[in-house]
Every structure is written in C-alpha cells, then in structure tokens.
Structure 1
C-alpha cells in the first residue's frame, strides 16, 4: 500500500531568481528622486542595504540618468522608508518595516515602473519595416 502524493510537483526556483525576475523590470524613467532611509541598528537594515546595492547598479541607473538616488542613514530607531518622487510631482512612500527585499521590489514595480509609457510607436515602426523587408525579394 502506497501513500498518495500530496504537494507541488515542481520546486520553486528560489529567492535569488525571484529577485532577478523583479530586477529585470525595474525602470527609473518615472522617478525624479529615490530616497532610501534606514536605521543601521534596525532588524531590516540588511534588507535596505541589499536594496541599495541592487538599485545602484549601472544597468538601472542608465534607464534615467537624471534620477537621483539618495541614502539617509538615521539613528533614531525609525522604520526603513523608500520614498520615490515622481516626475509628475507625486510621491510614493513605502514603509518597509515588515517587508522583504522581494516585496519591496514588487511594490516598486507595481507603483512606479508601471507608470513608464509603452513604446507602441517603436513596435509599429518595427512591424512596418519587417513587412516591407518581407515583401522584397532578392
């Protein structure tokens, strides 16, 4: 007599792949200034340091060279904050007291990266070029 299988048939790729998946979609275009504030003695300080490590990468900074990335290190036992000043004048404040690195990146992608205008015009130009090349014969 065998025990029936219970559980998932495939395994998760892990935490690193989840972070990489979120980092692939990060874009600074709608942001004017990103401020990360944390207390180094807080429990979640390591999560904010990891976030700063990923956000300072040249791949992401090249999406909007005019975006300022600022770090405020305070010693007042306050919770970690990520504040994003948008080009439209609005502010997005993420309180990261109980959030992991993946959750902070997901929130950034949900609220900030989703504001990037779609490049439909470029896609249409590419499609028309492909059609014209397809019609030509050698």
Structure 2
C-alpha cells in the first residue's frame, strides 16, 4: 500500500524570498502615478510601509523614469491604501488594511504588470565576418 503525497518536495525559502521574487517581476511601465496613503499610528500601516520600501527601490524606479511615486502620511486613523493611475487612463485602488506586503506585491503583479508594453527583440549585431560568410554562401548557391 502506498502513501499519497501532496505538495512540493522541498520547503519554501520563506516570505523574504517570495517578496524578492515578486519585486523582480515588478515593472512601472504601465503606471503613471502611484500614491501610497497610510496613517503611521494605524496598526496595519507597517505592511503598507514595507510595500512602499520595496516599490521605491532604485531598480524598480528605473523601469519607468516618468512614474511619480507619492507618499501621503495622514493623521486621521484612516485605513492604508495604494492608488495606481495607469497610462491608459484607468485606476487601480488597493485597500491594504488586511493585506501583507507580499499580498500587495502579488496584486500589483497580477493586475498592473501584465499591462506593460511588450518589448521588441532587437536584431543581432552583424560583424564583417558574418556578412562575408553570408555573401559567400549566397554566391555558392548561384
């Protein structure tokens, strides 16, 4: 009799590794403006501040130099939120009161990152040696 197994064969590397993977996937190309609002005295604000930390990393900001990242610190015990204005005119609002930093990053990657324009693959550089070899091959066929 065999024992039924489920799940992965190795253990997860942890939350920090999962956050690192999500940050590598982030691109700001479809975003025009990102506004992160939180009250520092709200008990759920640290997760939104962690998201702000990861989104303001220089490698993430370099994906779109024209994206505006704005932080609004409020003192009215309002719930933390992230508003993303898209280049196409849409708006994505994430109420992050009951979400962890990893969940906010996953939501961003699920709804915003796929809207990024697809980069065209450039042509390979041609050297004199490859040009002459192609010309010789074309002459031999004649």
* TM-score (ref. length: structure 1): 0.82
Q: For 1:103-128, what per-residue CA distance to the aligned partner results, in whole angstroms no more than 9, with x for missing partners?
A: 00000011111101222x316x35x9
Tell me the equivalent position of 1:50: 50
Matched pairs, number? 128
Tell me the equivalent position of 1:12: 12
Retained in 1: the 8 A contact 2:29–2:117? no
48-57 or 18-27, larger mean C-alpha shift: 48-57
* TM-score (ref. length: structure 2): 0.80
TM-fit CA distance, 1:65: 0.6
Question: In 2, distance between residues paired with 1:87 and 1:58?
Answer: 21
Tell me the equivalent position of 1:22: 22
Tell me the equivalent position of 1:91: 91
Q: For 1:39-73, what per-residue CA distance to the aligned partner results, in whole angstroms no more than 9, with x for missing partners?
A: 11112211111111111111111111110000011
Tell me the equivalent position of 1:39: 39
Tell me the equivalent position of 1:59: 59
Tell me the equivalent position of 2:121: 122
3-state SS of the aligned residue for 2:121?
helix
Question: In 2, distance between residues paired with 1:15 and 1:28?
Answer: 23
Question: In 2, distance between residues paired with 1:58 and 1:100?
Answer: 22
3-state SS of the aligned residue for 1:24?
helix
Extract unaligned runs of 5+ from structure 2: 135-142
Tell me the equivalent position of 2:82: 82
